Amino acid sequence: MWKDVDEETWEDWHWQLKNRIHTLDTISKILVLTPQEEEGIKKSNGRLSMAITPYWLTLMDPNDPECPIRRQAIPLAEEFHFNNNEFVDPCAEDRDAPVNGLVHRYPDRVLLLATDQCAMYCRHCTRRRLVGEKQVHSLNSKTIDSAVDYIKSNKKIRDVLISGGDPLMLEDDELEAILKKVSDIPHVEFLRIGTRVPVTLPHRVTPALVAMLKKYAPLWVSIHFNHPKEVSKRCKLACDMLADSGIPLGSQTVLLKGINDKPYIMRKLMHELLKVRVRPYYIYQCDPVRGTAHFRTPVAVGINIIEKLRGFTSGYAVPTYVVDAPGGGGKIPVGPNYLISQDKGKHVLRNYKGKIYTYVE
Ligand SMILES: *Cc1c(COP(=O)(O)O)cnc(C)c1O
Ligand code: SF4
């Protein structure tokens, strides 16, 4: 479809966005769709509509409906099957929002939802209640200002996580206006951006963007990665640009059935991340958000993945597996149990191979 597109146009992130695939008509010319995919695409008009960058499509296997890149981007009919254990807002973010677009759950840090747009809409998105309406919402500066005022008046807040949607969907000057306002607050020590753009639209990471972000150090970037295939050459270039300008990079991964629920796939992903200077940070249990049952695994699957990583590979390649507690309890780490018993200063421990050791205090 894009064989006549020159390199410069292909590299233009605005072109990539403008040429995203939204319709059943176009996608069915590129992929042989299954009936579940066809029904899913037809029904998913509205919030979290299908939107696929040409770049993301190049990573996709056109012949395999189980392709992990494809499954994250193409809606299935299953998204419209809801069950009783699923919620619209599973982590009760709206309840913990003192002002619009700001979630204050932990004592010293807040989550600022800067936009409702993303480059590609992930079918497992936990914020699907907020994200990706068809018409583009320009940033509401009043909303941002009241969030900034809230942070100003709460001296305990030392860490501001800017997410969305995807804050890198904003133009450089729009994003900079937010970074400036937040970093000017004397008690804010640390900024972070949560994004999937280096994975779904790496062309967005331009020299100008990187130069702008660098000015707001210490600023860390957390990138949502789910599968080793996502760490392409083009993605590596984007990560290199960020890392070369001194921006520390971390990853967040959602545990997804049939996509990354095998220990060897997760191990490969974590290794690929270290190669592009991204430190694995979290693996999330897939939240019980409405219409995502087909993506969810038992919690035991996540625990087993950590069990197969810890000790068997570099400690830097082992993220923390967390369940974001339904009802708004926050992220709770779960993992293998290495402490077998504890009594009068005597600790019975097991190592990664299952051998038992005693540590006496
Ligand atoms: C995840 C999250 C944070 C950041 O948590 P860390 O464990 O510090 O990365 C902050 N606020 C909310 C509401 C969150 O969901
Ligand atoms: S990038 Fe994040 S917010 Fe956007 S659709 Fe994907 S999971 Fe949701």
Active site residue 286: no
Output the CA 117–ligand 2 centroid distance in Å.
8
136 exposure class (CB count in 10 Å sphere: 0-12, 13-18, 19+): exposed
Q: 131-171: per-residue pLDDT in tens?
A: 886 555 556 788 899 999 999 999 999 999 999 899 999 99
What global pTM score does this model have? 0.97
Active site residue 71: no
Confidence tier at 1 by pLDDT (50, 70, 90): confident
**What is the overall mean pLDDT for the chain?**
95
Question: Are residues 220 and 247 in contact, defined by beta-carbon separation less than 8 angstroms?
Answer: yes
Q: Residue 127 pLDDT more than 80?
A: yes
Q: Given this model, what pLDDT does residue 74 score?
A: 97
Please state the rounded mean pLDDT for residues 319-327: 96
Q: Given this model, what pLDDT does residue 135 score?
A: 55
Cα–Cα distance for residue pair 295/76, rounded to 1 Å: 11
Output the CA 323–ligand 1 centroid distance in Å.
12
Q: Which domains does the chain have, with CATH numbers?
A: 7-76 (no CATH), 102-339 (3.20.20.70)
Mutate to test the pocket of ligand 1, among 96, 161, 193, 324 (most ligand atoms within 8 A of CB): 161
Confidence tier at 12 by pLDDT (50, 70, 90): very high
Q: Residue 121 pLDDT more than 80?
A: yes
Please state the rounded mean pLDDT for residues 352-359: 98
| DSSP state at residue 310 | B
Q: Given this model, what pLDDT does residue 192 score?
A: 98
Mutate to test the pocket of ligand 1, among 111, 220, 287 (most ligand atoms within 8 A of CB): 111
Helix H or strand E encompassing 105:
strand 102-106
Active site residue 122: yes
Please state the rounded mean pLDDT for residues 264-271: 98
Q: 32-77: per-residue pLDDT in tens?
A: 999 999 999 999 987 788 999 999 999 999 999 999 999 999 999 9
Cβ contacts of residue 204 below 8 Å, gap of 6+? Answer: 13, 16, 119, 168, 169, 197, 198, 238
Q: Given this model, what pLDDT does residue 141 score?
A: 80
Q: Which of 159, 163, 200 is nearest to 59 (CA)?
A: 200
Q: Given this model, what pLDDT does residue 137 score?
A: 54
Q: Given this model, what pLDDT does residue 134 score?
A: 54
